[in-house]
Structure 1
Amino acid sequence: MKLSKIVLTPLSLLVFGLMLFACKGEKSPYKNTIGSKPNIIFILADDLGYGDLGCYGQMEIKTPNIDKFASQGVQFLQHYAGATVCAPSRNCLMTGQHNGNATIKTMEKPIKAEDITVAELLKTAGYSTAMIGKWGLGNVGTTGFTNDQGFDYSFGYYDQIRAHNYYPDYLMENSKQYPLENKVIYIEDSTHYAVGIGNAAVEKKQYSNDVFTEKALDYLDKTDSNPFFLYLAYTIPHANNESWLIKEHGMEVPDLGMYANKDWAEEKKAGAAMISRLDGYVGSIMKKLLEKGIDKETIVIFSSDNGPHGEGGWNPNFFNSSGGLKGMKRDLYEGGIRVPFIVRWPDIITPRQSNHISAFWDFMPTACDLAGVQLPDSSDGISFLSTLLNEDKNQPVHDYLYWEFRISSVDRQAVRKGDWKAVRIKKGNPLVTKVELFNLLEDKAEKNDLSEEHPVIVKELVSIMNQYPKE
C-alpha cells in the first residue's frame, strides 16, 4: 500500500513554518524561570508547630496574614525541617546538607569556613544579601560569622543562647553591638547574665522581634535594582528559657492583644499573642513589597525551624500545635520535624496545596535554579522549582530523607523513604535499641508500628542510618 502524496501549497508551507517556529521557540515555565533572578525572602519562625497556623488547621490562634499568604501560594503538606532543634536545622537550610552531613548535628558551634552557604552562591549571581534575626551558626570572630558566610548585612542574635531573651540590652549589627533601650535594674546572677542568658529585672522597652521587622522594612526601602536575598529569622514563638531566673512564665510578648480576656492560663494567652504578632510581621513585609512595586518580582517563603516546644508554660497539646502529628521539638516523629512551608510568587506559581516530599536542604538547589548558578557537590538537596511551577511530572524526588539527634545519652535517627519511615532510638547501652516503622501514607500520626510485619524494609532503612556516624 502506497502512501498518498502530500501536496504543500505556498499557504500551507507558510502555516507549517510558523507552527514549527512556535514549537521550537516554546519553553516550559521551568526553563523560562531558570536564572530569572527574582528577589528571595525566606521568613523563618522559631518552634512554630505544623498546626499553629489557620491554613494548617489551627482553630484558636488567629493568623489572617499568613493564611492569606498561603491562599496565594503553594502550601506544602509534607515539608521537613533540617533537624528537630534550632542550630542544626538552620545549618541544613543554609548549606543544603542533610543532618548526617552538616557541620552542626546537635549543639551550637560555628559552621566551617569551607561550608558553602546559599548567600555565598547568590552573591555570585549579583544578589545583595541580608540576614536579620536569629543566626545561631557562629559569632563574631568564628568561622561561622554571618558576614564571612556570604551576607553583606547582618542584624540580630548571632549567639543562640542570647536569642532566648526577648528584651536584650543589645543586638548585633554586622560586627558591632547595637544598643537597645532595655535597661538592667539589678542582676541576680551576674555570671549568667554576662553570657547573655538572663534578663532578670529589666526595664522592657524594645521587643527584639519588633526591631527585626523595623530593620527588615528599612532594608526593603533601601533596595535598588539588584536582586536581593533577605533571610528574616524570627525567634517567635520560642520560649524565654530563662523564666526560672525572671520568675515569670517563658512566653514573652509586649501585650496579649485579642487574647487578653480569654479564659486561658497566662502563658497560653502570651504564646497565642506571640504567634499572632508574628502574623502581623508577615503582613507588614507583604505590604511593603506592594508599596515598593516589587511584589511580583519577589518570591517569599515562610516556614519554621522545627516542631512546637513544651517550655515556658506552653503546652503544644492545648492548641494542637503539632496538627495531629506525633511528637514535638526534640522528637524525630513527624511532630518534631514536619513543618509549615509556604511559597508565594504572584503570576508565576498557581495557588494550591502540594504533597511533594521536601526538606530544608532543598532550598539551596531551588535558589540556585532561580539565580542561574551551579549547585555545589556538597549539597544533598533537590530543587522543588518544578513543583512550584505545577510541573509535577518533571519534579525529581529524594531517594530518602535523613535526620539524627542526640540528647541526654539518647541517640535518635530517622529515615523517610517514599511512604515508609523508620525511627531508631538508642538509650545509653547500644544494646538497648528500638526501631519503629510507619507507613505515613496510611498513618501520618505514626500510631501503628509495622516493624515486625516488614523486617526487610526495616533492614533497608537501618542500613541508611548506619551510613552516618554520630558525634
Structure 2
Amino acid sequence: TPNLDRMAKEGIRFTRHYSGSTVCAPSRCVLMTGLHTGHARIRGNGPGQLQPDDLTFVKVLQKHGYQTGCFCKWGIGNPPPLDDPQCHGFDEFYGYINMYHAHNFYPEFNVHNGRKVKLRNVLYDDWRARRIGPQYEGAGVAKVAVDYAPKMIADRLINYIRNAGADKSKPFFAYYALNIPHANNEAGGEKRIGLDGMRVPDWGSHANLDIPDQEKGFARMIDYIDQEVGRILTILKELKIDENTIVMFSSDNGPHQEGRHKMEFFDSNGPLRGMKRDLYEGGIRVPFIARWPGSVPVKKINHHISGFQDMFPTLLELAQIELELEVDGISMVPTLLGKKGQRKHDYLYWEFGERGGATAVLKGDWKGVRRNTRKNPKGPIEIYNLKNDLAERTNLAENQKALVAEFNAVLKREHVSQE
C-alpha cells in the first residue's frame, strides 16, 4: 500500500483509534452524529432509519457554505430511503444507499441523488426474485458482470473533487465511504461463480499466486483502495489545494471473514483478539491516518485514544464552526495540529446486539467487556489491561473488583433505551 504508507509518512498515524461499532451501519451513524452506540439512533444492522432531527456534522458544514459530496456506501439504517444522504446534508451522492445492495460489486443499478441509474450488469434471475423490496433490492449475484461499481464510484469521487476544488468561492467536504474490501456475502455461497465473494475485474499481480481466488480478490481490493488514495492526493496537488485540505483514512470495523475470505490468511487482526462483530480490540480498533501538509506534523505516531464520535467536533473546529449541541465526541484538533491542550475521554463505550449481545467500556489501558447481554444483561464483566495484554487473553476481573463496579456503573449510565 504505497499511497497509504505515504499518507502515514506525511502525517500522523494513530494507534488507538476506535470505530463507532463493530459493523457498518451503527459505526457510520456514530461517525455522522457524534453519538456513541448507547445514544445513537442506529445501533445495529437491523431495521431502523435516521430521523429528520438527527443532526449530522455534514448538515452543519452545508449550512455554513460547504459543498458536500458522499460517494460509495451510505448504509446508515436498514433500509434508508434513496434520498437519505441529501436529507442529512449531502448536495451530491453517488453509489449504494442500502448495505445489502453494497454487498454486490456488480449491481444492476447505482443511486445518484435519490434516483436509480441503470448499469449493464444483470443478476441471476433467482437472485433477483429473492432480493426484492427496499431492504434487499439490488443485492445478489450478477450473471452478467460488466460494470464494476467501486471503480465507477471512485471516478465520480475524483470528478467531484476536481470540480468542487476548482470552485474557489466555497470550501468542500468529500466523504468516500468505501464498500471494499467487504465481501459479497451472497456470492460466497454461489457455485455458479466459484463461491467467490471477493469478486473483482482482475487479480492483477496476484493472478498467478497459488492462493484461493477469494484471497486474490481481497488482495486486489486493497490494491484498489490504495490506488484511489493515490488519485485523491494527486488531484489535490494538481488543484494546488494540497496544503489547504486535510485527508483522513480509517475503517468502520475490524477485519471480516465473509464471502469465503479467511481473516487469518493475511493475519488481518495481527495481535488483536476478535474481528468484525466482536467488541474485543480486533473488532473495533481500526487504522486512522491524517495528512495535511504544513499543518499536521509529519512522520508521527500518536497513541491518543480517539473514536468515530470525535469526528463531529473535530471537523467543525477545523472549519471554524462553533459546536452548538452536546455530542459524545471530543475535538482532536490539538493533537492533529501538534499543539497542547488535548482533552481526553474518561471512557469510550460500545453496545452491540448481534451474537447474543455485548457491551464494552475503555478507560485508558483498561478494557471491560460484557458478553451475552441479551440473555444476561447484568452478567459478568471481563477486565483486561491492554498495556500488558493487548490480545485480551487474561481476564483480571477477580482481582479488579473496584474496576468491575466502576465499569458496571458506566455501562448502566451510558445506555439510553430506545423503547
What is the rounded CA distance, in whole Å, between the counterparts of 2:324 and 2:129 in structure 1? 43
What is the rounded CA distance, in whole Å, between the counterparts of 1:265 and 1:111 in structure 2? 39
What is the rounded CA distance, in whole Å, between the counterparts of 2:54 and 2:373 in structure 1? 31
One of 175, 183, 193 as aligned partner of 1:231: 175
Report the Cα offset of residue 249 of structure 1.
Answer: 2.0
Q: Counterpart of 2:58? A: 119
One of 393, 396, 403 as aligned partner of 1:450: 396
What is the rounded CA distance, in whole Å, between the counterparts of 1:68 and 1:431 in structure 2? 45
Per-residue CA distance 1:115-165 (angstroms, 9 max, x = gap): 110111112321110111100125898498110111111111111111110
One of 129, 144, 148 as aligned partner of 1:207: 148
Q: Counterpart of 1:249? A: 196
The question of whether the paired residues in 1 share the 8 Å contact of 2:15 and 2:288 is answered with yes
The question of whether the paired residues in 1 share the 8 Å contact of 2:78 and 2:99 is answered with no
Q: Counterpart of 1:367? A: 315
Per-residue CA distance 1:36-65 (angstroms, 9 max, x = gap): xxxxxxxxxxxxxxxxxxxxxxxxxxx111
Matched AA of 2:146: K
Q: 1:437 to 1:445 in 2, by over 3 A?
A: same
What is the rounded CA distance, in whole Å, between the counterparts of 1:470 and 1:329 in structure 2? 24
The question of whether the paired residues in 2 share the 8 Å contact of 1:198 and 1:245 is answered with no
- Name the stretch that deviates more: 246-255 or 356-365: 246-255
One of 119, 122, 137 as aligned partner of 1:196: 137
Identity of aligned residues (%): 42
One of 240, 248, 259 as aligned partner of 1:293: 240
What is the rounded CA distance, in whole Å, between the counterparts of 1:144 and 1:357 in structure 2? 34
Q: Counterpart of 1:180? A: 119
SS at match of 1:67: helix
SS at match of 1:75: strand
Query: Does residue 163 of the first structure (1) align with residue 89 of the second (2)?
Result: no
What is the rounded CA distance, in whole Å, between the counterparts of 1:187 and 1:79 in structure 2? 43
Q: 1:200 to 1:142 in 2, by over 3 A?
A: closer
Query: Does residue 146 of the first structure (1) align with residue 85 of the second (2)?
Result: yes
Q: Counterpart of 1:350? A: 297
Q: Counterpart of 1:396? A: 343
What is the rounded CA distance, in whole Å, between the counterparts of 1:71 and 1:64 in structure 2? 10
Matched AA of 2:288: F
Q: Counterpart of 1:319? A: 266
Q: Counterpart of 2:385? A: 439
Query: Does residue 69 of the first structure (1) align with residue 15 of the second (2)?
Result: no
Q: Counterpart of 2:285? A: 338
What is the rounded CA distance, in whole Å, between the counterparts of 1:66 and 1:127 in structure 2? 26
Per-residue CA distance 1:387-418 (angstroms, 9 max, x = gap): 01112x4100011000010114x120000012
Matched AA of 1:74: I
TM-score (norm 2): 0.93
What is the rounded CA distance, in whole Å, between the counterparts of 1:306 and 1:376 in structure 2? 29
Query: Does residue 96 of the first structure (1) align with residue 42 of the second (2)?
Result: no
Q: Counterpart of 2:45? A: 107
Query: Does residue 378 of the first structure (1) align with residue 326 of the second (2)?
Result: yes
Q: Which runs of 5+ in 1 are unaligned?
A: 1-62
State the 4+ residue runs in structure 1 displaced beyond 3 angstroms.
138-144, 197-201
What is the rounded CA distance, in whole Å, between the counterparts of 1:201 and 1:126 in structure 2? 41
What is the rounded CA distance, in whole Å, between the counterparts of 2:80 and 2:183 in structure 1? 28
Q: 1:299 to 1:264 in 2, by over 3 A?
A: same
SS at match of 1:301: strand
Query: Does residue 260 of the first structure (1) align with residue 207 of the second (2)?
Result: yes
SS at match of 2:26: helix
What is the rounded CA distance, in whole Å, between the counterparts of 1:229 and 1:431 in structure 2? 41
Report the Cα offset of residue 341 of structure 1.
Answer: 0.3
Report the Cα offset of residue 372 of structure 1.
Answer: 1.4
Per-residue CA distance 1:204-227 (angstroms, 9 max, x = gap): 111111011100111012120111
What is the rounded CA distance, in whole Å, between the counterparts of 1:138 and 1:181 in structure 2? 28
Paired residue total: 406
What is the rounded CA distance, in whole Å, between the counterparts of 1:448 and 1:379 in structure 2? 34
The question of whether the paired residues in 1 share the 8 Å contact of 2:29 and 2:41 is answered with yes
What is the rounded CA distance, in whole Å, between the counterparts of 2:50 and 2:274 in structure 1? 28
Q: 1:197 to 1:178 in 2, by over 3 A?
A: closer
Report the Cα offset of residue 318 of structure 1.
Answer: 1.5
The question of whether the paired residues in 2 share the 8 Å contact of 1:138 and 1:145 is answered with no
Report the Cα offset of residue 294 of structure 1.
Answer: 1.1
Q: Which runs of 5+ in 2 are unaligned?
A: none
Bigger radius of gyration: 1
What is the rounded CA distance, in whole Å, between the counterparts of 1:160 and 1:407 in structure 2? 16
The question of whether the paired residues in 1 share the 8 Å contact of 2:121 and 2:142 is answered with no
Q: Larger relative CO (CA 8 A, sep 6+): 1 or 2?
A: 1
Report the Cα offset of residue 253 of structure 1.
Answer: 1.2
Report the Cα offset of residue 470 of structure 1.
Answer: 5.5
Report the Cα offset of residue 183 of structure 1.
Answer: 2.9
Per-residue CA distance 1:278-328 (angstroms, 9 max, x = gap): 111111111111111111111000000000111111111121101211000
The question of whether the paired residues in 2 share the 8 Å contact of 1:413 and 1:465 is answered with yes
What is the rounded CA distance, in whole Å, between the counterparts of 1:141 and 1:417 in structure 2? 34
Query: Does residue 463 of the first structure (1) align with residue 409 of the second (2)?
Result: yes
Report the Cα offset of residue 370 of structure 1.
Answer: 0.9
The question of whether the paired residues in 1 share the 8 Å contact of 2:369 and 2:382 is answered with yes
Q: 1:384 to 1:331 in 2, by over 3 A?
A: same
